[in-house]
Structure 1
Amino acid sequence: MSLFIEIFLIGVGLSMDAFAVSICKGLSMKMIKKRDVFIIALFFGGFQALMPFIGWFLGKGFESYITSIDHWIAFILLGIIGGKMLIDGIKAEDDEETGEFKLDLKELFLLAIATSIDALAVGITFAFLDYPIVECMSIIGCTTFIISFIGVYIGKIFGSKYEHKAEIAGGIILIVIGLKILLEHLGLF
């Protein structure tokens, strides 16, 4: 298998959490703004590219420190954001509020970090295997960008049909993804 195909498949695997979260963001959009979709995809793609780069430089000496807490960080961030989304969905359903979607860059920043922590560990592995880091981060970042872009549109299709219930479902999905990451790293799933 060529290095490009190997890195592309790694990129697809790494982008699945970002894809799920992108769907959740699309669920909460009443109207798609291409600018917002681009920013969401850029955050996820950018962080998926940046984290292997950071991991590359951290190297073997810090690997045990990072992998020992990465799952807790992802679990806490996704749990907080998913919980907020769940509460907002329930509150909006009760109020029948029809506000416009606003892109929260702080929340998006935290989501991008939470979904790309595993890419940090992959970057450490790339350093051990002496993979070309610029090529790796470019392929992973572009792959995640495209998959996240598509994810927002998929979420929008379902969100427009189910409105507030979709936002509640999105919050639950984020919490479940965080729990899955935690349980996998603890060896319970």
Structure 2
Amino acid sequence: MNAASITLLALAMSTDAFAAAIGKGSALMKPRWSEAVRTGLIFGVIEAITPLVGWALGYAAADYVESWDHWIAFVLLLVLGLRMVRGAFQHTDAPEISKPARHGFWLLVATGFATSIDAMAVGVGLAFLDVNITVVALSIGFATFAMVTLGVMVGRLLGHVTGRWAEAVGGLVLIAIGSLILYEHLSAV
């Protein structure tokens, strides 16, 4: 993977966390930058760890599936991308409730983990490719930190609409990266 692919992957992995952060920001009573940074750090750390866990699991199985690894990466990214696009257009109408000043730590951890499951699956797919997983994980973590911090503040202003479109674009980027991996492997044969 080249630097551009890693950057796009990191941004794509952070879009669902960005969408969740917009929701978190819109659910708070006028969130401050300190709350946005706190939320970004929690999400970013979790999002950096999960691809490492997925990579370790995939690496353990790499010798058994080496001849069709590109198909695994493609299918995982395709499914995750389609899931993100589908999720972006599912409507949830929650009743209006009073807004807290900040979210609890464990609520943010649970939300961060839920939005990072796709990064773990991507880590599994990356185990079958020649990639520096540390660079990828740090890139995903940093992008998530930045996007979530920004997302909380955007949520204060815009609400749920922007988050849906960001998640859809992220899903399309994942599908494109998976297609590029498959194309590069098949064209090299």
TM-score, structure 1 normalization: 0.64
CA deviations over 1:57-88 (Å, ceiling 9, x no partner): 11254999xx8xxx8xx9xxx9xxxx8x93xx
Which amino acid is the alignment partner of residue 128 of structure 1? F
Q: Residues of 2 paired with 1:26 and 1:100: CA distance? A: 10
Alignment of 1:16-165 (within 5 A): 16-59=15-58, 61=61, 86=94, 89-90=95-96, 92=97, 97=98, 100-158=100-158
Aligned residues: 146
Query: C-alpha displacement at 1:100, in angstroms?
Result: 4.0
Match of 1:183 in 2: none
Contact 2:33 2:153 in 1 (8 A): no
Query: 1:163 is matched with which residue?
Result: none
Asked if the contact 2:27–2:100 (Cα under 8 Å) also holds between the matched residues in 1, the reply is: no
In structure 1, what is the equivalent of residue 11 of structure 2?
A: 12
List structure 1 runs of 4+ shifted beyond 6 angstroms. none
5+ residue gaps, structure 1, are 160-165, 181-189
Counterpart residue identity of residue 12, structure 1: L
Partner SS, residue 131 of structure 1: coil
Q: What amino acid maps onto 1:102 in structure 2?
A: R
Contact 1:51 1:123 in 2 (8 A): yes
Q: 1:27 to 1:116 in 2, by over 3 A?
A: same
RMSD of aligned residue pairs (Cα, Å): 3.5
Q: Give aligned-pair identity as a percent.
A: 30
Amino acid at match of 1:104: G
Instruction: Work out whether residues 50 and 119 of structure 2, in 8 Å CA contact, stay in contact via their aligned partners in 1.
Output: yes
1:121-166 CA-partner distances (Å, limit 9, x unpaired): 111122111311111111111111111111111110135xxxxxx7
Report the secondary structure of 1:102's partner residue: coil
